[in-house]
């Protein structure tokens, strides 16, 4: 009887310990489900290049709100088909640089083609992974994560890579959809958005960043968060 009690206690302790462990790895399965095949990514790409996207998302205002200036180096993490590249390229000017990063080669190929078509000579491309954006150390004035943070399967590892890439006065800019039924015209909740704004802030600050500012990017749809590193080198 005593041995049974001891085994039950050990089992209960193990369950409690397991539940206390941090959740790591592939935590964005729902958000990433459509990206697992070339066909799925092609369907997503059609939405990324929708004719009304500029009107809806106001990229010029986004670039201005990021504080992008001439001569800066700006990274577009999860660039996809490179939608933001023309806006960022023009903002940094000939003396600046835009780095387009993505984990999918087909998206990078589309982004490269966009840069060629629009004669964006100040854009470089990096093939990252889901755990490492592979960005050069201490190189970026701004790192933009536009509608991409909820796709991070390994946010701790990705944030560590982004942190290393920032210059001492660099900024991480997160633009995300609200986890709310208000974010969709049809009133349907965005179930694939992993965290609400408050928990996004908590998670990023837990990984050695400090929130500097927050604002609505699109009313009731998207918000912008700007961070610097809590501990600078």
User: For the residues of 95-133, what is the DSSP string, one character each?
Assistant: TSEEEEEES-HHHHHHHHHHHHHTT-TTEEEEE--SS--
**Does residue 3 belong to any structural domain of this protein?**
no
CATH code for the domain of 122: 3.40.50.150
Q: Has this prediction a pTM greater than 0.85?
A: no
**Does residue 8 belong to any structural domain of this protein?**
no
**Does residue 68 belong to any structural domain of this protein?**
yes
The parent domain of residue 197 ranges over 24-229
Which residues touch 28 (CB under 8 Å, ≥6 apart)?
150, 151, 152, 153, 192, 194
**Does residue 178 belong to any structural domain of this protein?**
yes
3-class DSSP state of 33: helix
Residue 34 has what pLDDT? 61
**Does residue 65 belong to any structural domain of this protein?**
yes
**Does residue 9 belong to any structural domain of this protein?**
no
Residue 9 has what pLDDT? 43
Q: What is the pLDDT along the chain (233 residues), one digit of tens a residue?
A: 555 444 444 444 333 433 333 445 567 666 666 667 777 777 666 566 666 665 677 899 999 999 999 999 999 999 999 999 999 999 999 999 999 999 999 999 999 999 999 999 999 999 999 999 999 999 999 999 999 999 899 999 999 999 999 999 999 999 999 986 554 554 445 667 889 999 999 999 999 999 999 999 888 889 999 999 987 55
Residue 12 has what pLDDT? 43
**Does residue 4 belong to any structural domain of this protein?**
no
Total domains in the chain come to 1
**Does residue 84 belong to any structural domain of this protein?**
yes
User: For the residues of 155-195, what is the DSSP string, one character each?
Assistant: HHHHHHHHHHHEEEEEEEEEEEE-SSGGGSTT----TT--S
Residue 53 has what pLDDT? 62
């Amino acid at each position: 009887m005593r041995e049974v009690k001891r085994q039950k206690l050990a089992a209960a302790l193990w369950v409690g310990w397991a539940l206390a462990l941090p959740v790591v790895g592939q935590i964005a399965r729902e958000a990433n489900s459509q990206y697992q095949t070339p066909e799925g990514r092609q369907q997503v790409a059609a939405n990324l290049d929708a004719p009304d996207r500029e009107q809806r998302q106001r990229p010029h205002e986004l670039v201005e709100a990021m504080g992008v200036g001439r001569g800066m180096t700006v990274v577009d993490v999860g660039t996809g088909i490179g939608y933001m590249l023309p806006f960022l390229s023009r903002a940094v000017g000939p003396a600046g640089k835009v780095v387009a990063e993505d984990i999918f080669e087909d998206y990078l190929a589309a982004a490269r083609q966009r840069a060629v078509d629009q004669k964006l000579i100040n854009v470089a491309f990096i093939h990252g992974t889901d755990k490492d954006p592979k960005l050069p150390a201490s190189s970026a004035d701004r790192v933009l994560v536009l509608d991409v943070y909820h796709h991070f399967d390994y946010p701790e590892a990705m944030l560590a890579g982004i942190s290393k890439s920032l210059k001492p006065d660099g900024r991480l800019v997160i633009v995300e959809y609200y986890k709310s039924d208000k974010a969709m015209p049809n009133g349907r909740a965005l179930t694939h958005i992993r965290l609400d704004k408050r928990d996004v802030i908590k998670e990023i600050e837990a990984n050695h960043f400090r929130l500097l500012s927050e604002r609505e990017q699109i009313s009731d749809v998207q918000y912008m968060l700007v961070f610097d590193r809590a501990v600078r080198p």
